[in-house]
Amino acid sequence: MFHAALFTLYPEMFPGPLGASLSGDALRRQLWALETINIREYGLGKHRAVDDAPAGGGPGMVLRADVVAASLDAGLRPDDARPRLLMSPRGKPLTQTRVRELSAGPGVAIVCGRFEGVDERLIETRGLEEVSIGDYVLSGGEIAAMVLLDACVRLIPGVMGKLESGSDESFESGLLEYPQYTRPRAFEGREIPAVLLSGDHTKIAKWRNDEALRLTRGRRPDLLTERGLK
Ligand code: ADE
């Protein structure tokens, strides 16, 4: 079973939105599991300190390597095969390809960063893979971890129905998704494109592919160059 271990200073944030909808149903059906480890429990002294001023000066606070390492060493067995991730805006951007790989594995151990960062020696000694969910800065890694988990969990066999099973959607084909329509046939003067009501499935497939290409060319031309589609 896909098992997520979250190392965080805010365990109360979980499962949060992952407890609702598709991922929440799957959690209750035990198609995946989520465990939180409170880094604060490994904090030092009376105040359970987890962070300190950056060496060399500068603003903010840095998560201590010894404290986070103690939480990881207590929360993970030495033979744990799960990838160890650190959510960070500095990380390698998350892709659907990486999501598919993670989803097919035993789960993930995720360190949720806070403050100005974590001591580099934690990343080095515990082999953390830094992962970013986009080029913007969140106030912490928890919401980023939820994004990653949501993307992984929906691909676990049995989580989505066969019908919605997602091979047609944006990024799985390498293209953005074509436009969708449903009833009513006319909405505020706009008709559903006639081809979609024609019953000609060859024509419909061509229309959808053309539209997917048109949208991708306009919005994400980088996806086409990646795939050699000019
Ligand atoms: N923590 C803060 N910003 C982040 C981002 N963009 N991706 C992953 N983790 C983060």
Give the pLDDT confidence of 29-87 residue by residue, as tens digits: 999 999 999 999 999 999 999 999 999 999 999 999 999 999 999 999 999 999 999 99
Taking CA atoms, 224 is separated from 7, 23, 211, 229, in Å, by 37, 31, 14, 5
Average pLDDT over residues 210-215: 98
Burial of 1 (0-12, 13-18, 19+ CB in 10 A): exposed
Work out which ligand 1 atom sits closest to the CA atom of 87: 9
Inside any domain, residue 161: no
Is the residue at 163 inside a domain? Answer: no
**CA-proximal residue: ligand 1, atom 7 (nearest):** 132
Q: For residue 218, what is the domain's CATH number?
A: 1.10.1270.20
Is the pLDDT assigned to residue 199 strictly greater than 60?
A: yes
Q: Which residues line ligand 1 at a C-beta cut-off of 6 Å?
A: 87-89, 113, 132-134, 136-138, 141, 144
pTM value? 0.95
Residues 17, 127 within the same domain: yes
In a domain, 158, yes or no: no
Question: pLDDT tens digits for 9-28?
Answer: 999 999 999 999 999 999 99
CB-CB contact of 14 with 118 (8 Å): no
Residue 160 lies in a domain: no
**Domain check: are 139 and 194 in the same one?**
no
- Alpha-carbon distances, residue 121 vs 118, 127, 143, 163 (angstroms): 8, 10, 24, 46
CA of 34 to the centre of ligand 1 (A): 20
Contacts 24+ apart (CB under 8 A), 62-66: 62/115, 62/116, 62/117, 62/118, 62/119, 63/39, 63/113, 63/114, 63/115, 63/117, 63/118, 63/119, 63/122, 64/119, 65/118, 65/119, 65/120, 65/121, 65/122, 65/125
Say if residue 167's pLDDT is above 80.
no
Question: Apex CA 34: angle with CA 78 and CA 40, to 5°?
Answer: 70
Which residue, 153, 181, 212, sits at the end of a domain? 153
Length of the chain: 230
Same domain, yes or no, for 173 and 119?
A: no
Q: pLDDT tens, 127-157? A: 999 999 999 999 999 999 999 999 999 999 9
Pocket test for ligand 1, best of 138, 142, 148 (most atoms within 8 A of CB): 138
Q: Residue whose CA is closest, atom 5 of ligand 1?
A: 89
* 57 and 84, same domain (yes or no): yes
Domain boundary among 96, 122, 153: 153
Tokens of 97: 């390809």
Q: Is the pLDDT of residue 230 over 70?
A: no
Same-domain status, 145 and 173: no
Domain housing 213: 168-226
Residues 42 and 93 in one domain: yes
